[in-house]
Amino acid sequence: MNSLFNPKTIALIGASNVKGKIGNSILTNLLFSKKQIYPINLNEKKVLGLNAYPSLKDIPIKELDLAIIAVPKKFVFDVLKDCAFKKTKYVIIISSGFKEAGDIDSELKIKNFAKKNKIKIIGPNVLGIFDNYSNLDTLFLSRSAQKRPKKGKISLISQSGTVGGILFNQFEKKNIGLNKFVSYGNACDINECDLIEYLNKDINTDVIACYIEEVIDGKRFVEILRKQKKPLIILKSGKSKKGSQSVQSHTGNLAGDYSVYNGIFNQFNIVSANTVKELVNYSAVITKPQIKNVTIITNGGGYGILLSDYFENYNIPILELSEIQKEKLKKALPLGVGLKNPIDVMGDANCERYLTAINLTKSFTDTYIIILLGQVSTINKDEVLKLNSELKKLNKNIFFISTMDEYTKILQESFLVYEFPEDLANYLTPLIKNRK
């Protein structure tokens, strides 16, 4: 799929100068890819400064890597014929109104025509695709409303455009690195199996995250899961009876019984996510080292206690401090510091006190949870910057709880940071069992 993710030539059918239009938003994003772009517009000579063409037939090349179709449904088939004329390798059909809206025939017509003409299709009914390595960005999400996530080794595929958009947003918000994002919609041609197989071979993909509503070829899907080597996290919706009915009306396919999927996921050690946040955060965590011994250091007792409760629920092991360690902590830290794990360094703790607690425990622990509650503590931005730079040097698994957006922003540059202890505890669960 190199011509899909890193095309040399791209045509956008439905390119527009009108702000707010889908074809304007996509072209704006395409410009970041610095590829050869051919905007197609019936009336305009120029679109966003590029030479435009009235039809795909008019572009000055004979073969095309990628065509993006962003015109109303009724024009899609004719455009596809033009794509065939230009020997187009890949077509992304943004347009909706097909199977998901009850029009199965139109979708079948497209599917068959494409197959006959050796055109590979993503869609219809998609948000587009995004690649942080080739800089290809065909999404109809404006960059002013939705910043792009930083470059990383996780690739994300989503059947639903809206859920895909929300997942994409979570990557950016949590500063989690992303490689590719594919909204694959009705999957009339390229489906989740094709994408997972491709991503398994992609050298810049270490983790594959999927939001799947329905699997068309169950047998092939199971075969892929069986052989799966790279960590694969799946949010399978339509688990319930009602949910399954909704899948049917949303994509026109049956969702299948969840108990079946659940069994398969367990059998093949696939990480199953139940929510969009789990999908994103499990993906971010999965490549970190397994947790053997956690030490929690907090400047607020309450959050330490709650986190202990959640860790015990999830069987996340908290380091038991030895008498020698307790004695050392007692000598090094002020009176009143909680000499248990969680270590409560109290509301007036500065960076130094956190570091002291870390230094006295680090030969026995592989994972630190640093809780930084800002509301009534003496911690400030300078202290957080200092802590951040010191902890970057420490060769440990480190996760933060921070309740102050200002501190979260600093820490998120290098660490995973959560606001609520129950979320952190949940997101660490992939690290407590042996997983692929």
Give the separation between CA 286 and CA 430, rounded to whole angstroms. Answer: 6
**Using the rule CB under 8 A, which residue among 31, 135, 172, 243 binds a second copy?**
243
- DSSP-derived letter for residue 53 is B
Question: In 3D, which of 351, 343, 347 has the Cα closest to residue 390?
Answer: 351
**Using the rule CB under 8 A, which residue among 60, 323, 331, 335 binds a second copy?**
335
**Using the rule CB under 8 A, which residue among 266, 313, 322, 389 binds a second copy?**
313
Tell me if 347 contacts a second copy by CB under 8 A: yes
Tell me if 250 contacts a second copy by CB under 8 A: yes
Closer residue to a second copy, CB minimum distance, 263 or 336: 336
The CA-atom distances, in angstroms, between 321 and each of 32, 339, 343, 363 are 53, 8, 10, 12
Closer residue to a second copy, CB minimum distance, 44 or 213: 213
The one segment of 111-119, 157-165, 191-199, 354-362 that binds a second copy by CB under 8 A: 157-165
Q: How many residues bind a second copy (CB under 8 A)?
A: 72
Residues in contact with 240: Cβ distance below 8 Å, sequence separation at least 6, in sequence order: 258
The one segment of 59-67, 201-209, 281-289, 342-350 that binds a second copy by CB under 8 A: 342-350
Tell me if 304 contacts a second copy by CB under 8 A: yes
Amino acid at 244: S
Tell me if 359 contacts a second copy by CB under 8 A: no
Residues in contact with 150: Cβ distance below 8 Å, sequence separation at least 6, in sequence order: 132, 175, 176, 177, 178
Q: Give least dist CB 379 to a second copy, A.
A: 12
Give the separation between CA 141 and CA 201, rounded to whole angstroms. Answer: 28
The one segment of 32-40, 307-315, 381-389, 409-417 that binds a second copy by CB under 8 A: 307-315
- DSSP-derived letter for residue 71 is S
Closer residue to a second copy, CB minimum distance, 14 or 342: 342
The one segment of 195-203, 260-268, 304-312, 356-364 that binds a second copy by CB under 8 A: 304-312
For a second copy, the binding residues in 391-420 under the rule CB under 8 A are: 403, 420
Tell me if 312 contacts a second copy by CB under 8 A: yes
CB under 8 Å, gap of 24 or more: what pairs does 107-114 form?
107/186, 107/188, 107/252, 108/188, 109/77, 110/76, 110/77, 110/80, 110/188, 111/188, 111/189, 113/77, 113/80, 113/81, 113/84, 114/80, 114/188, 114/189
Residue with structure tokens 């957006």? 405
Tell me if 97 contacts a second copy by CB under 8 A: yes
Q: Give least dist CB 58 to a second copy, A.
A: 30
Give the separation between CA 139 and CA 154, rounded to whole angstroms. Answer: 18
Concatenating the DSSP letter of every residue in 364-399 gives T-SEEEEEE--TTSS--HHHHHHHHHHHHHS-SEEE
Tell me if 344 contacts a second copy by CB under 8 A: yes
Closer residue to a second copy, CB minimum distance, 121 or 346: 346
Tell me if 201 contacts a second copy by CB under 8 A: no
Closer residue to a second copy, CB minimum distance, 152 or 304: 304
Q: Give least dist CB 223 to a second copy, A.
A: 26
Closer residue to a second copy, CB minimum distance, 177 or 347: 347
Length of the chain in terms of residues written: 436
Q: Give least dist CB 237 to a second copy, A.
A: 5
Q: Site map for a second copy, 206-225, x if CB under 8 A?
A: -----x-x------------
Token pair belonging to 24: 């304007």
SS (H, E, C) 223-266: HHHHHCCCCEEEEECCCCHHHHHHHHHHHCCCCCCHHHHHHHHH
Give the separation between CA 130 and CA 135, rounded to whole angstroms. Answer: 7
Q: Give least dist CB 302 to a second copy, A.
A: 3
Tell me if 90 contacts a second copy by CB under 8 A: no
**Using the rule CB under 8 A, which residue among 254, 305, 385, 432 binds a second copy?**
305
Q: Site map for a second copy, 67-86, x if CB under 8 A?
A: --------------------
Tell me if 301 contacts a second copy by CB under 8 A: yes
Closer residue to a second copy, CB minimum distance, 127 or 411: 127
- DSSP-derived letter for residue 343 is E
Q: Are 57 and 86 in contact (CB under 8 A)?
A: yes
Query: Dihedrals φ, ψ of 280, to 5°?
Result: -70, -45
Closer residue to a second copy, CB minimum distance, 140 or 221: 140
Find out whether the peptide bond into 342 is cis, omega within 30 degrees of 0.
yes
